[in-house]
Amino acid sequence: MTITQLKYVLSVAEYKNFTIAAEHSFVTQPTLSMQIQKLEDHLGVLIFNRSKKPIELTDVGLKIVEQAKVIVNESNRIVDIVHQHKGFVGGEFKLGIIPTVMPTLLPMFLNNFTKKYPKVKLIIEEITTEEIIKKLSDNHLDAGLAATPLENEMIKEMPLYYEPFVGLIPKEHRLFHKKEIESSELEMEDILLLEDGHCFKDSVINLCRTYNTDNNRGFKLESGSFDTLIKLSKEGLGMTLLPYLHTLDLSEIDKKLLRDFTSPQPAREISLIYHKSQLKMQLVEALKNSIDGVIRGAISFSDVKIISPLQKKAN
């Protein structure tokens, strides 16, 4: 039994297809077929049920695959140990970022990070939280940036910052003439929200507890961008909440519609997330340090309203 054989098994288990699995393993299909046969012979069991299309795992196959994942992960860790010892921070690092964080956070740390760690080849992908979770589990991503908490057993979270929401109130709205809004004044019925990241831990105002996605407003919002939200809001379909960093590039006219919240402000928690197996942890730590650095210094977080939630949480 070799680690290579186990990797081939994992590849077939993932793609349910020998040919595709072979491509992803950078070998030809017969190579992969033979090695898997050899392993099956050695163990005296069939791992795959080849009669089903697409190929299925046998009962033992399922258990073997789970154990193979453990073994392959643990062997990858050897390289981590060596890198850590050499103080080497490098290699490929695949990072997934949710769309609503990408444009604001990426420009802030990318330069800083690539300068500090020139040996790292950052591969960044803009994908949804759900896909990040899936890809972290499959080892197709090394880490992700998303709104937390996720409450997923497989995934560890490293909170980076808390980004307060600012209200965007259309002219006709009942709260338009207020200078500041209190959370208690919010009527969940007339707020437009993205699914993305409005659930929080206890210490922050938790919008998702009161926010009902099955509202009786007559339409359901599936948009992934705040731009759509802003337009809908200005059409008079209700107020909305924008993450603070997204309000910075609004037009002067639109900025007039913004209303801050009184403390405690609603906010979203943005975290660096990674698989519980904690592979490539030096890289994850390096990324966290880079982001921490820019958040503390580079951005104008002199603003009291942003600093306060940050300070609350920063232990």
Partner DNA sequence: TAGTTTTTATTGATAGTTTTTATTAAGTTT
Partner DNA sequence: AAACTTAATAAAAACTATCAATAAAAACTA
Q: Looking at 43-51, 132-140, 158-166, 295-303, which segment touches a second copy (CB under 8 A)?
A: 43-51
Instruction: Provide the β-strand partners of residue 241.
Output: 167
Q: How far is the CB of 27 from a second copy (least distance, A)?
A: 16
Q: How far is the CB of 46 from a second copy (least distance, A)?
A: 11
Work out which of 60, 124, 158, 250 binds a second copy, going by CB under 8 A.
60
* By the rule CB under 8 A, 85 interacts with a second copy: yes
Q: Which is nearer to DNA, 54 or 297 (CB)?
A: 54
User: What's the token pair of residue 37?
Assistant: 């046969």
- 94 vs 135: CA distance, rounded Å: 10
38 binds, among DNA, a second copy, none (CB under 5 to 8 A by kind): DNA
Q: How far is the CB of 48 from a second copy (least distance, A)?
A: 15
Residues 19-48 that bind DNA (CB under 7 A): 19, 26-31, 33-38
* By the rule CB under 8 A, 67 interacts with a second copy: yes
* By the rule CB under 7 A, 7 interacts with DNA: no
- 53 vs 40: CA distance, rounded Å: 19
Residues 147-176 that bind a second copy (CB under 8 A): none
Work out which of 3, 43, 50, 82 binds DNA, going by CB under 7 A.
50
> DSSP characters for 231-295?
HHIIIII-EEEEEHHHHTTS-HHHHTTEEEEPSSPBEEEEEEEEETT-TTHHHHHHHHHHHHHHH
> Please, which residues have CB within 8 angstroms of residue 120's CB and are 6 or more apart in sequence?
89, 90, 91, 92, 93, 113, 114, 283, 286
Cα–Cα distances in angstroms (integers) from residue 64 to residues 10, 30, 48, 126, 154, in the given order: 9, 21, 10, 33, 19
- The angle that helices 102-116 and 281-296 make with each other, rounded to 10 degrees, is 110
Q: Which is nearer to a second copy, 9 or 257 (CB)?
A: 9
Q: Which is nearer to DNA, 24 or 38 (CB)?
A: 38
171 binds, among DNA, a second copy, none (CB under 5 to 8 A by kind): none
What's the CA angle centered on 6, arms 51 and 39, to 5 degrees? 60
* By the rule CB under 8 A, 304 interacts with a second copy: no
Could you tell me which of 194, 16, 17, 21 has the C-alpha nearest to residue 7? 21
Could you tell me which of 307, 255, 279 has the C-alpha nearest to residue 92? 279
Q: Which is nearer to a second copy, 3 or 307 (CB)?
A: 3
Binding site for a second copy (CB under 8 A): 1-4, 43-45, 59-60, 63-64, 67-68, 70-71, 74-75, 77-79, 81-82, 85-86
Binding site for DNA (CB under 7 A): 2, 4, 17-19, 26-31, 33-38, 50-51, 53, 55
